[in-house]
Structure 1
Amino acid sequence: MTALPQPFDESFRAMPHAVYNKLRDEAAVHRVALPDGAEVWLVTRDEDVRAGLADARLSVNKAHSTGGYQGFSLPPALDANLLNLDHDDHIRLRRLVAQGFTPRRTEAMRAGIQAVADRLADGLAERLESDGVADLVREFATPLPLTVVCDLFEVPEADRRPFASWVTTMLAMESPQQVGEAISEMHDFLRRLVAERRSAPGDDLLSALIEARDEGDRLSEDELCSLAFLVLGAGIENVQHLLSGGFLTLLRHPRQLAALRGDSSLLPDAVEELMRYAHPNLTAIRRFPTEPVEYGGVRIPAGDTVLFALAAANRDPSRYEQPERFDIRRRPGGTSRPEAGGAHLAFGQGMHYCLGAPLARMEIGLALETLLSRFPSLRLAVEPDELRWQTSFRSHALRELPLSR
C-alpha cells in the first residue's frame, strides 16, 4: 500500500469540488495516489494548468510513460486518435480532421439539432403528464447527443438501438467484461461503416473524413475508426453530463435561472459559465513528461504521470472573482483582470483544444433554450441529497435527474 496521500475517498465522492479547492489552496502540485494505487502528480492552479496543457514537453502518448496512471486501455485500432498523438502526428491528423468540422458543416446541423431537441421535449412533456416525474438524463440529456452523433455519421435506423446500447455500456464502465465486449462490437461496427462509406460516400462526417486529403495524405483505416470512436465518447458523454449537471445548476440558482428566462441574450454567456462551473470532467487527459519539467516550483521527472486538475483551475481565485459563485453575467474569460486573459479550460488549451467545441456549444445552447421555453416550472422531484452521482477522480456526473412540475 502506498504511503502517498489518497484524496479521492468517500468525502471526495460527495463533494469533489471541495476536495479539489482544498488541494489547490494547499499547494500548486501534489504527489498523490489514485484509488487503484497508481501514483500521479496533480497540478491544481490555473496558471500552471494552462502552461502545462500547452507544454510541448508533455506527451499524451503512453509510450513515454514509465509508470502510474495511463488511462483507458483500447485496442490499437481504436487508439490512433488525437488524444494519444503528439506534435507532428497530431498536427497531421488534426489538419485532416478539421476538414470534417468546418464552421459551415457545424452550422448546417443547427436545424437538425433543434428538431431533435423539440422531439425529445415532446417526449419529456408526455412523461411528465403521464407519470408526474421524468428523468432528464434518460428522456433528454442522453438521447440528444446520441442522436446528433448518429446523424453525424448517418448511422442506419436499424443499427441505432444496438449502437446506443454499446455506447451506454462503455460510458457506464460498471463491468470490465461488458465494456470490453461493447468496445469490440463498436470496433466491428465502425469498420463496417467505414467500408460502406468508402464504397458509397454520403454527406456525413465519416464520408468527409474519408475524402479529406492534404497533399495526397489520407486517414488510414485505424485512424478513421479511432477518430469515429473519439467523437462518440467525447461527443456523447460530455454533452450528456453537462446538460444534466448544467440544468441542475440552474435549478439550484433560481435568481440566475429567472434572469436567463427573462433575457435569452444571456444564454451564450450562461453556457460558458456552466462549462466553467459545472463541467463533468474534473481533470484533463493524463500526460507524460518527455524530460523533467517544473510547475509551481516542483520538479516532475520524465515518464511520470501528470494530471491537470481542471476543476481546481476553473475555480481558482487568482483568475476568477468569487469563483464559487455561479454567475451567468460573468465576463468572457471569467475575470475582470485584463492581464489574466483566456477563457475557462473546459475544452482544453493549446494543441489539444477540442475540435468539436463549436458543435458542443451549439448543442448545449439549443437544448437549454428549448427546455427553458417549453418548461417554465420544472423543479427537482427529490431532495438534492437523494441525487445519485457517478464520480471518479476524473469526472462527476449525474446518473439521473428526476424532475416534476
Structure 2
Amino acid sequence: MECVRFRHLRVNITISRTTQTQRTIMNTTRALFSVLIISLTAQWNFAQDEEEDHDRLLATVNGVEIHESDVIGNLAGTAGFPDEQREKYIEHALKQAIDNELLYQAGIQEGLDKDPTYLGQLESQKIMAVHQKVEGLATFYEQNIEELSAARDRNAITNEECEDYYEQNQARYRGRSKDRAIRIIRSQLANKRYRDAYAEFFMELVKETTCSVDGQSIPSDVLLESADRSLNMSEVRPSDADPFWVAVLDAANVDLPEPTTLPPGQIDEELKKTLGNITVKIGKDEVMLGDSHQIDSFVLSVQSGRLGPELFYLFKPYIVVQKAVQEGVDKDPAYLEEKEQMSMMTGAGMGGGMGYNKRLLVNLVVQNQGFYKIENYEVTDEEIESYSTEHGHRYERLRQRPNGEERVLKMIKRILKSQKAETAKDDYVTTLRDSGDVQIHE
C-alpha cells in the first residue's frame, strides 16, 4: 500500500496581529494544516490496519514533539463519520494539542507545577486512576460472565411471563395501554433476573475473598451480610448500620462519635484524619480510605451514625478483581485492547494528547488567567441587538413564558460573555504562539 510521507517544513510563528505578514503566515499555516489533515484522513482510511509504525511527527512546540498518536489516537470512535466531518475533528484535535502544549509550558514557566493546589490535584488524580483501573477490569470481567450476559437479555423473557405478571399487577399500570405495560414489564423482569443472577455470582466471590484491617481479619460472614443487604435490597431500617462499616471501625479501634452538632454538610476534620488513616486490604490490594475521593462522604456517614452501603460499594470492584486476576483476565488481549482504547479516549483525541498531569496544569493556568470569570466582561446594547437579530428566533417559545423577555436577555448576555471569555483565551494562546516556536511537519 502506498503511504503518504511527510516532508519536514519549519514554520516559525512570530507574527504581529496587525500586519500583512500575519495574514501571510496565517494563510500559510492554514494551508499546511489542510495538507496535514488530508494526509491524516487518508492515512486513517487506508492504512489503519498496517503493522508498520505510523506514529509520525506532526508538530513541535518549542522543541516538544506532538506525534500522530497524540492527535488521532481516538479516531476509532469516528469510523462512521463522513470524511469532511473527520477532517474537522482531526484539525480541531491537532490545534488543541498545540494550544494545550503552549499552555502547559506557560504553566511550567510560571512554576505552577510546584503549586500546592496542582500537586494535591495530581495526587488525587493518580489515586482515582488506580481505582478506575480496578473498576474497568471488574466491569470487563462481569460483562464476559455467560450467566450474567444471559440474564441481561430482555428477549429471553417470554410473553407468557409478561402476561402473567400483568394479570397479577394490573393496578400498577393503570392509565397505560396493555402494550406499553408489557414493554415495561419485560424490562422490569429482565432487570430483576439480572439482579438475582448478579447477587448469586457476587456472593460466591465474597466467600473466596479475604479482608483485613491493620492485620485484623474481617469475617467473610460480615461481607456476605453487607452484600446481601446492598445487592438484594433487603429491607433495612435507616437506623441499621452496615455490618461491614461496623467491622472496619471496630478493627481499626475507632469508636463511633456522638451525634454531630455540626451544620449539615460540615466535615469533622479530626474524624476525617482518623478515618483517612484506616487501610483496608482486600486480597492483595490495599486501600487507604484517605486516598479515596469519597472520603468526605465517609466522614459524613460516620458523623451522622448512618453507616450506609457506601464503604461496601467502594470495595465491591476490588472483590471482583481478585477473581479476575486469578483467572488471568488482566492479561486477556481483549481486555488490554479495551484498556488501551480507554486510555486513548482520556488522552489523544479527547484531551489534545494530554495525560491527566498536563490536563490539570493546563486547567490551573486557565483558571489563574481568569478567562472564564464571565462577570468581568461587559456586553453592549449593540452586541445584544446584533445577536438577537441573528439568533432571536431560537428564543420565541421562552419569550412567551413568565418573565420570558428578562430570561432571554440574561441568557443572551451570558452567551456573549462566554464568547468573550473564549476570545480572551484564544488571544492569550496566540500571544504564547507568537513568542514561541511552533513547527508544523508536512
Structure in which a larger fraction of residues adopt helix: 2
User: Per the shorter chain, which TM-score range?
Assistant: under 0.3
Could you state the TM-score of these two structures normalised by the residue count of structure 2? Answer: 0.23
Q: Higher relative CO (CA 8 A, sep ≥ 6), structure 1 or 2?
A: 2
Larger Rg computed on CA atoms: 2
